[in-house]
Amino acid sequence: MARTKSHPHYSAIVIGVSFGGLQALQTILPPLPADFPVPIMVVQHHDPQADDFLARHLDSHCSLRVKVAAEKEKATAGTIYLAPPNYHLLIEDDHTFSLSYDEKVNYARPSIDVLFESGADVYGKKLIGVILTGANSDGSKGLRCIKQCGGIAVVQEPLSATAASMPEAAIAATQVDYITPLDQIGALLRTLLDTSSKSTSTADDNCDTI
C-alpha cells in the first residue's frame, strides 16, 4: 500500500528488526547497490553475548559495506551500520554514533525506539524509517516520531513477516506511508532514493516537534 506524495531529499535510513531478522535483512539489503547514496543504521535485537556474525554474514552478501557501529564513528553513505549487542545506538547532531548502556527500552538493548527517536531528531524530514518482522512492539513509538518530523514510514506487510507483532504495532501507532511485502522493500528503498535525488527541500533537517 502506498500514498502518492512528494518526497524530499533523504539523508539516512533506519531499520528495526527482531525475531526473523536474519532472513529479513538478507532479503532487503543485498539488492542495494554499492553506490547507495545514504547510510543505513540497523537495530537487530541480539542476545547480549552475541558476536559479530550478523555483520560478517551480511557483509559477505551485500554490495554495501556492513559493519558494527563504533562510538564517535561518522555515518557515511555506502555503509550499513549495525547496533552492537547490549548497547543502544544513537545518532548525534554531527552525524556520529553514540553508544549507550542505559536501561533497556521495551525490554531491549539495543532498542529500535532509541535509534529511531535520535535519528528523527537529527535528520527530521530527511529520514526513512523501516520496521520489519518482530515479536514485540519496539519501534512503534520511534516510527511515530519519524512521521511527526515529516519523515517516511515503511513497514513490512505483516503477512510476510516471521513474527507480525512488530509490524502490526507500528501500523497501529502512526500513519504509515508504505506497507510492503518483505521481498519488495529493497526495491522500494532504491525507488525512494532515486525519487529524492530529483527533489529539493529548503526545510531544516532537524525536528523540533517531538
Where in the sequence numbering do the catalytic residues fall?
18, 45, 138
Strand partners, 184: none
Beta-bridge partners for 43:
16
Q: Which of 119, 117, 118, 100 is nearest to 109 (CA)?
A: 100
Compute the 3-state secondary structure of the chain and give helix, strand, coil in percent, each to the nearest 5.
30, 20, 45
> Please, what is the Cα angle at 29 between 93 and 22, to 5 degrees?
100
Residue type at 32 in one-letter notation = L
- 127-131 and 40-44 beta bridge pairing: unpaired
State the amino acid at position 60 in one-letter form: S
Phi/psi of residue 189, each to 5°?
-65, -40
Phi, psi for 165 (deg, rounded to 5): -60, -45
Place of cell 510492503: 180
Which DSSP string do the residues of 77-123 spell out, in sequence order? Answer: TTEEEEPPTTSEEEE-TTSBEEEE-PPPBTTBSS-HHHHHHHHHHHH
